[in-house]
Structure formats: C-alpha cells, structure tokens
Amino acid sequence: MDIDDLYKSLGLEPPTDGENKHAPNGNEIKARIDQTLNFGKARNIFFRKWYAVAAAASILILSATGVYLYNLNSSVPEDMITITAASGETREVTLPDGSHVWLNAASVLRYPAKFGETREVFLEEGEVFFQVKRDTTAPFTVHSAHLDTRVLGTSFRVKAYRELAHEIVTVVTGKVAVSRGAEPLALLEKDQEVIFEKNSGYEKEVLVEAAETVDWKSGNVILKSVRFEDLILAVENAYQVSIHFDRQKFKECENSIRFSTHQSLESVMDLVSDIQGIRYEIDGKEVIVSGEGCQ
C-alpha cells in the first residue's frame, strides 16, 4: 500500500505535490482509527436499540391483539333462537333443557340454543304457557317487558302483549316468584294470578281457574271478568283481523266469554255484541265496533 492509499483508507486527503508527502503521524492515525471504531460502535448500539424497541413494540401489538380478540370472543353473545307464532296460530316448542312451551297467537319467544348455569328466556311479545322441567341447580326465569318470573320446575303462563295496559302471570301448578328487577312482587301458588299495571306500577293478586286461562292451547278461548281490550285482542289474534273501537269509552268494561277458534268470526262477534251491547261491521280484515261503552 502506498502513502496515498494509506491516507485514503483513513479518510484523509493525501497531500498535494507541493506538500511534503509523508506517512501520517501516530496521533493522527490513532484519532482516525478511534473515530472509525466509535462510529461502528455507535451504529451497532443504534441498531441494537432499534431492534429492542421493535421487538418490544411487536410484543405489545401481539398482546393487545390477543386481548382484543379474547374480549371480542367473550363479548359475542351465545346463539339465540327466536320462535314466533303468527296471528291465527299457536305453537308448541321444546326448549334445550326439555321444558315445553306453547306460544299463543301473535307471540315471540327468544332463548339460547344451550342453557348454562341458569335457564333464561325472553318473552318479547305475547302470551306463553311454560311447562318447566324441574332442576333445582338451574333456576328458570322468564323475562318480559316489565316482569321477571322465576321457577325451579312448574307450569305457568305469562301474558305480555304490548297493546295491553298490564302484564299477567298465572300459576297452573307449583310455585312462582314474580319480581320487577330487584323488587319482589309476588310469590304465587296454583290458581293464583298477579296483574301488573304498566303505567302505575300497581299489582294485585287474584284467584282464578288457571287451567282455563291456557285452554287456548286446544283452540278454546275462555276469558272470565277480563277487560274489554283483552277480549278484543283475543278475537283479533284468533282471526287475524284488526278491530277498531274507542278505548276510552270501553275502558271500564269487564266481560266473560267462551268461544272456539273453529267458530266463524261473525258468530264470535255476535257473542261480543250480546254480552256488551255493541254494534259491529266487518269489512275484510277490518272490524269497526261502536256502542255506548261503560262510562
């Protein structure tokens, strides 16, 4: 290696022809070598730090992704099944635990495909009769719009149509606990019924012949001392019609009626006319009711 190459290898400018070409002195060489080595060290330290930061960031990203996916999977609701009984029909369904339910016309029930430690179903609309398989380790709860009905194993009905001003729970066999959220309302036994008023929050307990209240399962509608709106809704649901009447005028009316869904609409409306003194007109799927009411 000549003197020029030595200078260049150290990053120094070789002297011009007018300058005295000589090998760089020891101090110069040492300084240049130290600078070169230190640069390499600095670069290595930089890359080591960069790799450490990148690795840490990757771990954080992977951890965050894992937590997100876990939470996402945990928050995904279990598979729910929705059963609907249209107007003019009733349906019988067996739940995952072997319990049997019957949906009256115009009813919607939602429940999980598989029960866990508790058995919870949701009555979205309508009237359902429950025949619950007994399991003391897994309470059975029906959630309706305003009430929660809890049992271990019994038979009962919940009536919770949106059009009505009240919800009803009736016990056919066994015992039932009815609450509104955390507030207990009633502990019912066979042939007892609680009527909950949606607007006032008032509830009352009455004695009934519970088996008759669910005879609609067999196509027989039996209503005793019910409000006129309950009677009209039963006819609407059985015959897939809309019945128009002055709710305020008939608000205080109470009636009893018994009919079969195999009867014609006209024959049933004749019964309503006889017991309430109304006039009616049928126009296709529409029925217009008029009369004095019960003011």
At 32 the pLDDT is 54
Length of the chain: 295
At 282 the pLDDT is 97
Residue 31 Ramachandran class (φ > 0 left, ψ -120 to 50 alpha, else beta) = alpha
For the CA atoms of 74, 95, 223, 220, the dihedral, rounded to the nearest 10 degrees, stands at: 150
- pTM (2 d.p.): 0.73
Question: Which pair of tokens denotes residue 63?
Answer: 């951890």
At 218 the pLDDT is 96
At 38 the pLDDT is 52
* The amino acid at 191: D
Question: Bridge-partner residues for 160, per DSSP?
Answer: 126
- Residue 218: in which H helix or E strand, if any? none
**How far apart (Å, rounded) are the C-alpha atoms in residues 91 and 107?**
9
At 4 the pLDDT is 54
Question: Which pair of tokens denotes residue 282?
Answer: 């049928």
What residues of the chain score a pLDDT lower than 70?
1-78
